[in-house]
Copies of this chain bind each other. A is one copy, B any other.
Amino acid sequence: MEKKSQHVEPKQEEKEEPQASICGYDSLHRLLHDNLSPHLYQEVSRVLSGYNCGKAVEAIGLPESATGLSSQHGFDFLGFRFNAEKELLREPRVVRVGLIQNSIALPTTAHFVDQKKAIFEKLKPIIDAAGSSGVNILCLQEAWMMPFAFCTREKRWCEFAEPVDGESTQFLRSFALKYNMVIISPILERDINHGEVMWNTAVVIGNHGNIIGKHRKNHIPRVGDFNESTYYMEGNTGHPVFETAFGKIAINICYGRHHPLNWLAFGLNGAEIVFNPSATVGELSEPMWSIEARNAAIANSYFVASINRVGTETFPNPFTSGDGKPAHADFGHFYGSSYVSAPDASCTPSLSRHRDGLLITDMDLNLCRQVKDKWGFRMTSRYELYAETLAHYVKPDFEPQVISDPLLHKKSS
C-alpha cells in the first residue's frame, strides 16, 4: 500500500487542483523515485534526505481503516519512522505525530458560516484517519478554519476570528477525547479580554479535550501578498513549550521559520518537537521550504514538523501586490509539501504539492538528546557571547565590528 500511495500518477491531481498544473508532478521525491534507477535514487536520497541510524528513513505500514479513508476521500497519505539508538537507562519514547494539509472547501464567495462548516466537514475523515492510525499529536495548518484572506487587506475577513475556546476548538476537542490525541489548532484568534484585537494563534488541546494553552505567532511578515500585519501584531506569549502526555512540543507559526532566533528560543525552553504550521506560496518560498526547517532541526537537536496549505485561493475583489503589476484575485499556489525533519539531519519525503494530505511520523524522542550528546552544539554554543552581542546590537548607537583595509583607497599598481 505504501508504495502505491507514494507514487500516484500526476494526472489524477490535476483534475482536483487545476490551477497547480504549472508544475504537474506530485512531489520531488516521487519525481526522483520514478525517474532514477533504484541505485541512484538511493544515493541521491542519502545526500538530499540524510540517513537515520545508518539507513534511509523507513516507510511504515498504516492501518486499513485509515488507508480506506484516504482512497475514499482522495487525500495523500504517507507514513515514516525515525529511530534512535537503544539506551541502557531510558526506554524508547516513540511518539506518533500526524500533520494535515488541506485546501479550502468552498469558494471564498460562499457565506462565511458555510465556508467554515465545509472545511470542518472536509477535515473530519482526515482527522478520523489520523485518530484510527493511533496518532498521539496532530497538527493542522495555519489558520486552517478559513481561507488565507490576509492578502486582500479587507477587514471583513476578520469575521472568521474566534476566541481560543471558540467553535473550532469545540469541534476538535471531541476528536482529541475520542482518539486520546493532542491537537494543535492554529486559528485566527479574537482576544475578547483585550479590546477584541486579533492574533495568529495556535491552541493546544490536550488528549483529554482540555485546552492546555496557546501560543501567538512571534514574527509577522510584510512580504509579497502576506499583508498579515494589517490584521494582527507580533505575538506576546514568548516561546512556550507545552508539556503534553506525549512529549514537550512548541509551535513556530509560519514566517517565524525564517528567524533562527525564534527556533533557538523554543529549543532553549526544551522543545523536542516544534511544529511549523504555514501558508506559503510557490514562487516566493519553495526553494527555502526544504532548507529552513531542516536547519532548525539540526541546529537545535529537535524534530520539526512542517505543514503548508494546498491549492490556490481566489478572492472576490482583485488586489494589488506592491509590485506594480495589475490587480489580481488570487494568492498564488500553496504548494503543500508537508514533511518532518529530524535532529540527525534526516527528513521524510514530502506530501503532495497539490492534494490534501495526512503525514504520519513515528519518532523516538530519545534521538534529540543522543544528537545533543554526539554533536555538542549546545555545549559549544557560547550563548554568553551572543547575549552580549545582541544586547549591544539593539542599542541605537551600535557600531558594527569592522576592520577596514588601511590601503582601501590606494590605487592598484
Chain A interface residues (CB < 8 Å from chain B)? 23, 25, 28, 31-32, 35-37, 40, 43-44, 46-51, 177, 180, 204, 206-208, 210, 212-213, 218-223, 234, 238-245, 248, 255, 258-261, 263-265, 268-270, 285-288, 290-292, 294-295, 298-299, 345-346, 374-377, 379-387, 389-391, 393-394, 400-408, 410, 412-413
Given contacts A28-B44, A375-B223, A390-B390, contact A405 B295 (CB under 8 A): no
**A287 touching B49 by the CB < 8 A rule?**
yes
Total identical chains: 2
Question: What is the chain B residue whose CB lies nearest that of A241?
Answer: B402
A223 / chain B contacts, CB cutoff of 8 Å: 374-376
Q: A222-B376, A400-B268, A401-B269 in contact; A28/B47 too (CB < 8 A)?
A: yes
Q: Can you name 25 A-B residue pairings with CB atoms under 8 Å?
A: A25-B43, A31-B43, A35-B40, A207-B407, A208-B412, A210-B405, A210-B407, A218-B382, A218-B385, A222-B379, A242-B402, A245-B408, A258-B298, A258-B375, A259-B381, A260-B263, A261-B261, A265-B386, A269-B402, A270-B402, A294-B295, A383-B390, A384-B394, A387-B394, A390-B390
Main secondary structure of the interface of A (DSSP, over half): mixed
CB distance from A343 to the nearest CB of B (A): 11
Which of A204, A285, A405 gathers the greatest number of chain B CB atoms within 10 Å?
A: A405
By a CB distance below 8 angstroms, the chain B residues around A290 are 47-48
A269 / chain B contacts, CB cutoff of 8 Å: 400-402
A405, B260: Cβ atoms under 8 Å? no
Q: How many angstroms between the C-alpha atoms of A46 and B238 in the bound complex?
A: 36
Please tell me if the beta carbons of A243 and B36 are within 8 angstroms of each other in the complex. no
Q: How distant is the Cα of A212 from the Cα of B379 in the complex, in angstroms?
A: 32
In the bound assembly, the distance between CA atoms of A257 and B400 in angstroms comes to 21
